[in-house]
């Protein structure tokens, strides 16, 4: 049977082209991300670094690890989604071929084996191509990580002997998972029903769609219900999962939306060609759903993720704006705290060197509590921040995910010293989870100083004149912070959404072209009844644009649900409600989807109608 699968794979290679590219791209991305993740989880830190530099490097590696874990998750999700929808559509297009096989004595089990064998071949060949493409993908990801300073220029990800095996396994599993549901459905349909397109063969809302849609809908409801009570470090990844569950749910129930959407769009698409396009939309629900699926998932993930990142960035900027009360910030290449305090007009100087408490403890800075409170607004939920002296420390509620701190708890410092929690602070979005006594930190190059002064301009001029370091006003510092957040957000979106956009583009083009190739006889019949070739192309184009509209609408609902969930979680954390909708990105995405589908539909319909209609009438393919 595997030999027969190979023969059908070769004969029908055009149907598998999109799925093959998706598997290859997915394997290359998974393999590259896996190599980078392994290198970031256990990084080699250069010798001779200060505690602040070690802290910054570790924070960068932690962010890189989280980013790469998200890339792996999204890449796997998109690969299964794209390959699954492509295979389901492909199997539906081959209904006559598969029904003939059953009528000639093939059993249901043999049919399943045939399709699973094709998926195995696809997975192996796609994995081999993906492994071969890993190096350029790896170099591209490294360039992005380095250019946005997530990792230092010295960071590299050497190949590991076991990662190609895992990646090949991923490719094979993606192929088999993608075809499994379609194979089960094809085997259950009676051959005569498949030939006549009656009964189960005609039904689009199958039992598997109801089950999958119901399960993912239940998962969506569960995430929405529990997310507000989940710590912030877990809430955002959870809502990215919400984006995926919403996409799958809406895709499963998309066939229910198509008839209603076609009637609504029929009000806009008037005239004989518009009415014919909407009728085709209702008649080809499976084709409509297959083409709309990648548009849906693209908008859901891109819009949901971009909106989530923008919402969090805005919340962080508001948080920093509200917490800072100091007027000037100074960074120097040497300890200058005492000299700054001696300047006329300076009321308080808060030195904030980083302290390395090891990977098991929260990120910490050493502060003088009185000076820190003079330059920052500090809210305390229990204890007293002034007691951060000796062995006393202040800890934020979300300092360590999964751990709840209480007054009197002890933490072990790397030098064996026992630290006691004397103050509990409310959760925030920044990465400083603990404040330790000033005696535990050492002013060094790169230490930040916040100054409280009633004469910021004069003090800033005195600092520059004395060469004490680079001085920045509070307003300029906040603007730099905003730009830094935007830069980091762009890095995250570029790393995550570049692959998603390419996946969706491949799937859309593949679905449109397969659908057009299967409709050659239908197009020929339309031309024999009086339509010109141009009118047939226009009708197919109107139909395709309507499909894009359905995909954009459903994907927009999924993205809006994700942004709402993130905003709700942040409101519970910070007390402020705010949501950012990435209108520019969504508009660009809409335009790109329309252009892509317009081009693919026009070219594929022209190709399907290039043969004289009389030769194709009644041909069936």
Between 289 and 192, name the one with better pLDDT. 289
- Residues 201-237 pLDDT 10s: 455 667 777 888 888 888 888 887 776 666 555 666 7
- Residues 586-601 pLDDT 10s: 888 888 888 888 888 8
**Residue pointed to by tokens 């064998």:** 117
Give, in order, the Cα–Cα distances in Å from 65 to each of 58, 107, 522.
10, 48, 51
Average pLDDT score over residue span 176-195: 62
Mean pLDDT of the chain: 78
Number of Cβ within a 10 Å radius of residue 620: 9
Q: Please state, for a pLDDT cut of 70, what percent of the chain lies above it.
A: 79
The yes-or-no verdict on residue 278 having pLDDT over 50 is yes
Which pLDDT does position 198 carry in this prediction?
Answer: 46
Q: Please state, for a pLDDT cut of 90, what percent of the chain lies above it.
A: 10
Which pLDDT does position 297 carry in this prediction?
Answer: 82
Which pLDDT does position 327 carry in this prediction?
Answer: 93
The yes-or-no verdict on residue 195 having pLDDT over 60 is no
Which pLDDT does position 200 carry in this prediction?
Answer: 45
The yes-or-no verdict on residue 605 having pLDDT over 80 is yes
Provide CB contacts within 8 A for 260, sequence distance 6+: none
Beta strands, E only, 61-206: none
The yes-or-no verdict on residue 194 having pLDDT over 60 is no
| Whole-angstrom distance, CA of residue 209 vs CA of residue 252 | 5
The yes-or-no verdict on residue 490 having pLDDT over 80 is no
367-381, 443-457, 499-513, range with the lowest pLDDT: 499-513
Token representation of residue 378:
């500090």
- Residues 109-162 pLDDT 10s: 777 777 778 778 878 888 888 888 888 888 887 887 787 777 777 778 888 878
Which pLDDT does position 356 carry in this prediction?
Answer: 77
The yes-or-no verdict on residue 269 having pLDDT over 80 is no
The yes-or-no verdict on residue 401 having pLDDT over 50 is yes
CA angle 161, 163, 498 (to 5 degrees): 140
The answer to whether 33 and 142 have CB atoms below 8 angstroms apart is: no
Closest CA relative to residue 94, chosen from 183, 30, 158, 157: 183
112-126, 319-333, 532-546, range with the lowest pLDDT: 112-126
Query: Would you place residue 413 in the very low, low, confident or very high pLDDT band (cuts 50, 70, 90)?
Result: confident
Token representation of residue 453:
């002064």
Average pLDDT score over residue span 87-116: 70
3-17, 68-82, 194-208, 306-320, range with the lowest pLDDT: 194-208
Stated as kind and residue range, the H or E segment containing 105 is none
Token representation of residue 130:
């993906």
220-234, 434-448, 558-572, range with the lowest pLDDT: 220-234
Which pLDDT does position 230 carry in this prediction?
Answer: 64
Which pLDDT does position 171 carry in this prediction?
Answer: 76
Q: Is residue 380 helix, strand or coil? A: coil
Residue 20 buriedness (CB in 10 A; 0-12 / 13-18 / 19+): buried
| Whole-angstrom distance, CA of residue 297 vs CA of residue 125 | 26
The answer to whether 570 and 319 have CB atoms below 8 angstroms apart is: no
Which pLDDT does position 384 carry in this prediction?
Answer: 92
The yes-or-no verdict on residue 49 having pLDDT over 70 is no
């Amino acid at each position: 049977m595997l030999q027969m699968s190979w023969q059908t794979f070769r004969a029908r290679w055009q149907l598998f082209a999109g799925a093959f590219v998706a598997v290859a791209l997915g394997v290359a991305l998974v393999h590259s991300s896996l190599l980078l993740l392994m290198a970031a989880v256990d990084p080699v830190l250069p010798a001779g670094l200060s505690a602040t530099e070690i802290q910054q490097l570790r924070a960068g590696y932690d962010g890189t690890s989280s980013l790469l874990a998200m890339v792996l998750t999204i890449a796997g999700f998109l690969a299964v989604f794209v390959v699954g929808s492509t295979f389901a559509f492909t199997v539906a297009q081959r209904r006559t071929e598969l029904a003939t096989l059953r009528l000639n004595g093939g059993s249901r089990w043999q049919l399943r084996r045939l399709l699973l064998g094709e998926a195995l071949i696809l997975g192996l060949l796609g994995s081999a191509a993906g492994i071969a493409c890993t190096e350029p993908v790896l170099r591209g990801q490294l360039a992005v990580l380095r250019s946005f300073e997530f990792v230092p220029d010295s960071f590299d990800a050497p190949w590991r002997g076991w990662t190609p095996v895992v990646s090949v396994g991923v490719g094979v599993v993606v192929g088999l998972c993608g075809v499994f549901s379609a194979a089960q459905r094809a085997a259950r349909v009676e051959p005569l029903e498949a030939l006549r397109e009656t009964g189960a063969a005609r039904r689009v809302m199958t039992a598997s769609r109801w089950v999958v849609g119901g399960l993912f809908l239940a998962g969506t409801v569960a995430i929405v219900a529990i997310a507000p009570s989940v710590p912030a470090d877990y809430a955002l990844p959870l809502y990215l999962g919400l984006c995926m569950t919403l996409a799958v749910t809406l895709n499963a129930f998309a066939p229910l939306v198509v008839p209603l959407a076609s009637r609504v769009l029929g009000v806009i698409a008037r005239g004989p060609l518009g009415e014919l396009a909407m009728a085709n939309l209702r008649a080809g629900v499976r084709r409509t759903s297959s083409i709309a699926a990648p548009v849906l998932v693209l908008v859901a993930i891109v819009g949901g993720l971009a909106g989530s990142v923008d919402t969090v960035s805005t919340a962080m900027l508001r948080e920093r704006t509200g917490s800072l009360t100091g007027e000037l910030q100074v960074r120097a290449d040497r300890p200058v705290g005492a000299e700054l305090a001696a300047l006329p007009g300076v009321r308080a100087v808060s030195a904030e060197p980083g302290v390395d408490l090891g990977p098991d403890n929260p990120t910490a800075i050493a502060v003088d509590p009185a000076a820190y409170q003079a330059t920052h607004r500090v809210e305390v939920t229990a204890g007293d921040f002034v007691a951060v002296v000796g062995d006393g420390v202040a800890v934020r509620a979300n300092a360590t995910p999964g751990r709840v701190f209480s007054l009197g708890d002890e933490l072990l410092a790397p030098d064996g010293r026992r630290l006691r929690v004397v103050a509990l602070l409310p959760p925030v979005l920044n990465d400083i989870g603990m404040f330790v006594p000033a005696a535990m930190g050492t002013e060094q190059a790169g230490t930040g100083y916040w100054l409280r002064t009633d004469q910021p301009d004069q003090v800033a001029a005195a600092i520059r004149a004395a060469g004490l370091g680079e001085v920045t006003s509070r307003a300029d510092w906040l603007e730099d912070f905003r730009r830094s957040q935007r830069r980091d957000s762009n890095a995250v979106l570029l790393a995550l959404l570049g692959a998603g956009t390419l996946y969706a583009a491949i799937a859309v083009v593949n679905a449109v072209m397969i659908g057009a190739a299967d409709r050659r006889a239908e197009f020929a019949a339309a031309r024999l009844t009086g339509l010109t070739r141009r009118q047939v192309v226009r009708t197919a184009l109107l139909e395709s644009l309507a499909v894009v509209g359905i995909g954009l609408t459903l994907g927009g609902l999924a993205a809006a649900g994700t942004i709402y969930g993130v905003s709700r979680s942040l409101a519970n954390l910070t007390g402020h409600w705010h949501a950012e909708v990435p209108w520019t990105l969504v508009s660009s995405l809409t335009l790109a989807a329309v252009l892509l589908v317009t081009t693919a539909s026009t070219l594929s319909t022209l190709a399907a109608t290039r043969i004289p209609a009389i030769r194709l009438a009644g041909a069936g393919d």
